[in-house]
Chains A and B, each alone.
Chain A
Amino acid sequence: MGRWLRSERGLSVPGGMLAAAGVAAILAGSYVYSQGLIRVSVQEKRPGGDHIRLVVPGVVVPVLMALVPASEIGKHMPAEARQHLPLVQAAMDELQKLPDCTLVEVDGRGEQVRVRVREGLMVVDVNDSGDEVHVTLPLSSLRSVLAKLSRASHSWRHPEHRSDRCSDADDREAGGSKEAL
């Protein structure tokens, strides 16, 4: 037993496994860190108001999106969203290339809004008389969501269009068979 636990060079097997597990944990941790965290904080200003806080690793988003079938997303996606998807994707592609910057800043009486890009994160801060809202979204997570939506949009066709295509294809096939005959 003692020989099994101890290799020839003197490092025990459990020790090696522990080290490997440590390396794996640190690599996984640093990957999660590099993908950023989704943070949402909403605080109501009225007395006794709620304070909702949500922190989710951005890396979870592509995993969750992978679990939802593209056909289901495509079926329930509103036509307007489908239409504006290329626009949002184009914007997202460019947003990812941006250095840290403030895109929009509104400073009015009793209302402050700020939309910024910070180290690959989209940061939105809203502070008005009723609520204080802070949202941080990793752009990479947003991009993976958009990529999935785009795939779903392309793969899904309206049933009417599908039947048109089928009938067109059938017609062509029938025409082709006739010509062949």
Chain B
Amino acid sequence: MKNLIAIAGILGLAVGAGLAAPAGKSASRLSSDKWLHVRVEDGKGEEIERVHVNVPLSLAEAVIPAIQVDNLKNGKVRIDVHGEDGSFKDVDFRKILEALRDTRDGNFVTVEGSGDNVRVAKQGGYLVAKVREGKAGGSKVDVKLPFEVVDALLSGGKDELNIAAAVRALGEHGDGVLVTVDDEKSKVRIWVDSRNESE
């Protein structure tokens, strides 16, 4: 009888060890990372198509430096500022950014025309851009980027955007909505928070 109990005990331990293995694995996973969420709604009524993408910033941070394609290498995008029209070749974005960072909150650029209204401003450590299409039902674009992120974006070479550094900076910053696009046909929302599922 004792032997039977011993055998049963060994079998029980073995089953327990086996079942505990996957549970231990999931407990060691990280759950406090920031997540980048993209939500796109295209169309109206029954024709609507929804796309939700949830990417942990740690994943983006690890993957982006490993991408080696045309203009994106080592986490940096090379911008052709001397392109066909060469309109940006004499613009030093880094210097403009430094100047903007040191100024007080307020509007930098306001364009109010018959077509589009554009406003670029600094508000509480954020670079805020608002674009409104003049016509009825026109698109509304709102961009709100923390200055740390913009700073990180421009931390590469002269003609480069440092995407990897921007993602890292985004992870260190608090939650918030980065981009919203709202027009007659589609809605786009890009935001960062600590939840691993979109709303």
Contact = CB atoms under 8 A, between A and B. Distances in A.
B111 interface: no
Interface of B: 3, 7, 10-11, 14-15, 17-19, 21-22, 25-26, 29-31, 46-56, 58-59, 62-63, 65-68, 196-198
Nearest to B40: A106
A30 B196 contact: no
Contacts, number: 112
A63 B162 CA distance: 41
Given A94-B56, A94-B58, A9 B15 contact: no
A23 B29 contact: no
A104 B197 contact: no
12 contacts: A11-B3, A23-B14, A27-B14, A27-B17, A27-B18, A86-B66, A95-B59, A98-B29, A105-B52, A106-B49, A109-B46, A120-B26
Interface string A144-156: 0000000000000
Nearest to B10: A23
Interface residues of A, number: 40
B25 A120 contact: yes
Given A34-B22, A94-B59, A107-B49, A10 B10 contact: no
A119 interface: yes
A40 B66 CA distance: 30
Contacts of B17: 27, 30
A104 B53 CA distance: 5
B197 A102 contact: yes
A37 to B, nearest CB: 12
Given A91-B66, A94-B59, A99-B31, 7 more contacts: A93-B62, A94-B62, A97-B58, A103-B54, A105-B53, A107-B50, A109-B48
Contacts of A86: 66
A154 to B, nearest CB: 15
Nearest to B26: A119
